[in-house]
Structure 1
């Protein structure tokens, strides 16, 4: 009994001291009951409310926004440490400060946790250094009731920068706005469709809300290369084609958008809710904000608008783009010869100088945006192979860059030495757009390349792998799953992974001798 009284007295005094400290030294807001705590304050952003307020106000003051004609339905906003991406995020939040939505629906993802379904934050509020942001609990229940794939999963929100980095801006710009927060746990398109459908059907008869999709852009590329890749991504965003953006992002080696799942869901939902235009509010990268340009991360603030423009015109433009992608890309002998020359000269020049070869091309086909792989062989044995499944720029630049990558960064091999170049022959594979299939029997050995994906894991075999190995379909797919992707060898049979097929036009120095 005495021990219990001592224990009670001890904790009572501690509680009293906590209250007194909060009254006389109000450096931090008192956490609200049932709140999501601040996990990243003091690391990803300043924990001191006065210093943080000054920093955010500085970003907002410097954000020069033009008048937006139309209703904003959704935004894209970055989520890196505020000293890197805060300047860009401010363009979204300054625009939001004029719109003053009653509810913000934040779509993000978990960097650390893989799970089935889409998590929704079920707390009463989210703490910030400026005090709590209330969760719109009634709307949370509506979302959960509409689709049982919307689940409570608190782990998804722990230590998650794609979510928490938005809270300080929201609280300072829109102190009375309420929140709903989603987090994706996988990269599967079916989950994108679930959230898009749920957002549309729950929100279609509501007003004064906005959707935020949290993402950064390319990761850890040199400055100029990052700008080139990010500009391609921005062009994809402007097409308002969620399915195309998903395909492009899913198989990209550098990650066009780390948050491509929430972005695709936001695009799809926004279109259903009437969006017909994308306005890029601000693009920059960490090289611009930090001055360090050797390895940068890209950021964008963008708005999805419902304008007076004819949606029909937009659809026609998108249809023409798709038709152009499907045009015959068969190359003539001179075009193949030119690409092989670019690959060899680029790798040799890089090995000699450490720099990329500057190339001028006028051929329209070589200027088209197509995916490609470059394969190196030495005395008939593989010496390196790297490529992009989907387009990231003009074909001739992709071939240049992939030749350098195959020779210097393939983790299976040591870098090629300049003395080896006379012993190496080069093969190029120009790829069609991947197509998802449900029936693996559609795979034509020797004609189709195959991609398998399960959650965050994916692997690819080019069409010529079947020809070179002589494998049956079963041997080919078992190896692709087990050895290239790191999943169960029979996942392709059981439906445990997604399967994509593509074709490739393959040509090389030895083939053309």
Structure 2
């Protein structure tokens, strides 16, 4: 949950602008005339000149995220322009801007969830639908637009976006110093709501702040190496240990988690500099700046990206078998084996029991609520004893029962039912508090086509057969790695 501590002036209501039909909330500029020009013509000319001067970069792969600085334009604007210059042609996009809070103490993520932001170049709308989904998905994110009123770290990015893109919306988010587990949760939630949408992630941060040019060079070299390594956990640990310095370092770690979930596998360093170098001097107060691009070069198949290897599969199936047998015989569960790598990740999982080819029990976690091995043990007990369609498995049945474990990918919301692939996708359909799920193997076993798969998932949810065609119905797909004892 978010806690906000601020002087009273920070919590005054945001300025309201009258629209043609209704009053909409609009955040007015806080640092125009300080960090960048307040005159629209001067501002447009300055931004255009910086974008034109940015060296052309042939970026390999699909652009997923950028990291940009947020100092005054004379200092960090040319560095930021190197990243923004890559955005040509990315219209009809939502830019999810994640930056630090310099004025308000927050825990979690403070989301500006409605209305719009104004700069001297005009007003930009907030993607209210995406904001609502993010806040609903992860409790660490809360709608707290008032926390953004005087913050500059995201505001200074807007004029670049306004001059580079012709059609876009924004989702501003501020974080401060979340612990690693919170960074991971927030990054994964961001990826989940952004997947299959036209979204660009933006991390806003400056680097070293201090009185030593030599320290600036030393710290910034390590910090940028950590950015480029695309290892958000290592970055977080270095920030905690003060081995790396970046005011928006934790915000950048959140974006890196999300970018990796969205298949980013390469970081390109576009520029590094500092205020001493920009001013042509050595000595005095020094702030570092960097710009990076995170791209997906080797687009991964969603079913294979997080697949368990043979040794991991053996551990999962062995645990499921031991759990069913021990619990049915004694009411006890086995100790969990040591979990590393994928086995320690939170994953959705289903455990299915068959006897003589017929279903004998099937229960699972749709969402990734527990580490994989713990989830397997829980669901093995549930499949054997808690499926309301069947009596509990008895000791005499154990030798005849076959066990199957399906390890799920994260749910991915889709807007086009035609994108459902029978034999590849599992399906979740939700509407009005009702939800139904069918695993990827079910339509194959039943001989259903796509339409029948959609219809039967609706029926599983207790909805009308054709509810999947209703605009108010949510469709989610996932992939599943099926591990079975039978060849």
Q: Return the TM-score normalized by structure 2.
A: 0.55
Compute the displacement of 1:292 (Å): 3.7
Compute the displacement of 1:42 (Å): 1.1
Which residue pairs with 1:308 in the alignment?
A: 298
Are residue 252 (structure 1) and residue 234 (structure 2) matched? no
1:119-162 deviation line (CA, Å, top 9, x unaligned): 11023110010110111111111111112221122332121111
Superposition pairs for residues 374-389 of structure 1, below 5 Å? none
Q: 5+ residue gaps in structure 2? A: 1-16, 305-487
Superposition pairs for residues 316-465 of structure 1, below 5 Å? none
Are residue 109 (structure 1) and residue 103 (structure 2) matched? no
Counterpart of 1:229 (choices 195, 219, 228) is: 219
Moved more, 220-229 or 282-291: 220-229
Which residue pairs with 1:144 in the alignment?
A: 135
Classify the secondary structure of the residue corresponding to 1:161.
coil
Which residue pairs with 2:208 in the alignment?
A: 218
Superposition pairs for residues 234-313 of structure 1, below 5 Å? 234-252=224-242, 256-294=245-283, 295-308=285-298
Compute the displacement of 1:98 (Å): 4.0
Please give the alpha-carbon distance, in whole angstroms, between the structure 1 residues aligned to 2:66 and 2:265.
13
Please give the alpha-carbon distance, in whole angstroms, between the structure 1 residues aligned to 2:231 and 2:237.
10
Please give the alpha-carbon distance, in whole angstroms, between the structure 1 residues aligned to 2:211 and 2:110.
31
1:225-276 deviation line (CA, Å, top 9, x unaligned): 32232112222222211111111112217x6211111110111111111111
Compute the displacement of 1:58 (Å): 1.4
Q: Is the 8 A contact 1:36 1:123 kept in 2?
A: no
Q: Is the 8 A contact 2:263 2:300 kept in 1?
A: no
Superposition pairs for residues 157-196 of structure 1, below 5 Å? 157-196=148-187
Q: 5+ residue gaps in structure 1? A: 1-17, 20-31, 313-513
Which residue pairs with 1:96 in the alignment?
A: 87
Classify the secondary structure of the residue corresponding to 1:297.
strand
Which residue pairs with 1:67 in the alignment?
A: 58
Please give the alpha-carbon distance, in whole angstroms, between the structure 2 residues aligned to 1:122 and 1:208.
18
Classify the secondary structure of the residue corresponding to 2:292.
strand
Q: Is the 8 A contact 2:108 2:178 kept in 1?
A: no
Please give the alpha-carbon distance, in whole angstroms, between the structure 1 residues aligned to 2:300 and 2:277.
36
Please give the alpha-carbon distance, in whole angstroms, between the structure 2 residues aligned to 1:309 and 1:146.
26
Are residue 130 (structure 1) and residue 121 (structure 2) matched? yes
Q: Is the 8 A contact 2:91 2:166 kept in 1?
A: no
Q: Provide closer, same or farther for how the CA distance between residues 160 and 292 of structure 1 changes in structure 2, counting only shifts above 3 A.
A: farther
Q: Is the 8 A contact 2:70 2:153 kept in 1?
A: yes
Please give the alpha-carbon distance, in whole angstroms, between the structure 1 residues aligned to 2:145 and 2:299.
42
Moved more, 226-235 or 242-251: 226-235
Please give the alpha-carbon distance, in whole angstroms, between the structure 1 residues aligned to 2:282 and 2:161.
30
Q: Return the TM-score normalized by structure 1.
A: 0.52
Work out the number of aligned pairs and report it.
Answer: 282
Q: Is the 8 A contact 2:97 2:171 kept in 1?
A: yes
Compute the displacement of 1:93 (Å): 0.8
Please give the alpha-carbon distance, in whole angstroms, between the structure 1 residues aligned to 2:216 and 2:177.
25
Which residue pairs with 1:318 in the alignment?
A: none
Compute the displacement of 1:221 (Å): 4.1
RMSD, aligned α-carbons: 2.4
Q: Which runs of 4+ in 1 moved over 6 A?
A: 309-312
Query: As a proportion of its length, which structure holds more helix?
Result: 1
Q: Is the 8 A contact 1:147 1:198 kept in 2?
A: yes
Classify the secondary structure of the residue corresponding to 2:33.
coil
Compute the displacement of 1:310 (Å): 9.0
Classify the secondary structure of the residue corresponding to 1:34.
strand
Compute the displacement of 1:202 (Å): 1.1
Classify the secondary structure of the residue corresponding to 1:166.
helix
Please give the alpha-carbon distance, in whole angstroms, between the structure 1 residues aligned to 2:109 and 2:56.
33
Q: Provide closer, same or farther for how the CA distance between residues 310 and 181 of structure 1 changes in structure 2, counting only shifts above 3 A.
A: closer
Please give the alpha-carbon distance, in whole angstroms, between the structure 1 residues aligned to 2:168 and 2:277.
31
Please give the alpha-carbon distance, in whole angstroms, between the structure 1 residues aligned to 2:298 and 2:142.
37
